[in-house]
Amino acid sequence: MARTKSHPHYSAIVIGVSFGGLQALQTILPPLPADFPVPIMVVQHHDPQADDFLARHLDSHCSLRVKVAAEKEKATAGTIYLAPPNYHLLIEDDHTFSLSYDEKVNYARPSIDVLFESGADVYGKKLIGVILTGANSDGSKGLRCIKQCGGIAVVQEPLSATAASMPEAAIAATQVDYITPLDQIGALLRTLLDTSSKSTSTADDNCDTI
């Protein structure tokens, strides 16, 4: 499902995923081209003791570089950044990462909401938020923040999800722009970035409405 609208120029994509995440990420990320023009930040709910298998696995299957985000590292185009196990991932005003060991949010650390809310504050209407499969409601509040700031909300079609709870919670929380089957989300992201390159925006990046 899609609403026709004028897309501003986008500067970043944030993705939240939980149960069933390996299959979901290895479906939508490998089709993205090596010259993809924005950074992608991902929160996948992990076991706190998990190693870097997910980053290594995805990096071997993607044209884009895939790595675990590091403290004070700058988010750059052409790279997919994964939140480290047991740390919240946040975006700072200078587009660098901050890692936090603060309390769990929605019983999770890293929390999707934490990444999405910080991203909405920094990128405003130039942010695309994507919620994928998961068995809880993490990310619904953060996706609502992205929409409040004028960004784009993309949600995996619940029937195509390994666990439908997270997509369903996101759809219930805000007005979603695209509800899309998993195997079509990669193509949708490419289309959004192709569209945005032909548009201009004079609005400030930052959001003051949260």
Is residue 100 part of the annotated active site? The answer reads no
Q: Looking at residues 106-119, what average pLDDT do you find? A: 95
Is residue 88 part of the annotated active site? The answer reads no
pLDDT category, 209, cuts 50, 70, 90? very low
Annotated catalytic residue, options 11, 18, 140, 196: 18
Q: Comparing 202 with 93, which gets the higher pLDDT?
A: 93
Chain centroid offset of residue 67 CA: 15
Domains belonging to the chain, first-starting first, are: 12-196 (3.40.50.180)
Q: Looking at residues 127-141, what average pLDDT do you find? A: 97
Q: Looking at residues 54-66, what average pLDDT do you find? A: 96
In angstroms, how far is the first alpha carbon of the chain from the final one?
27
Query: Given a cut of 60, is residue 36 above it in pLDDT?
Result: yes
How many CB atoms are closer than 10 A to CB 159?
A: 10
Measured CA to CA, the distance from residue 175 to residue 70 in angstroms comes to 33
Annotated catalytic residue, options 138, 140, 160, 196: 138
pLDDT category, 202, cuts 50, 70, 90? very low
Measured CA to CA, the distance from residue 140 to residue 143 in angstroms comes to 5
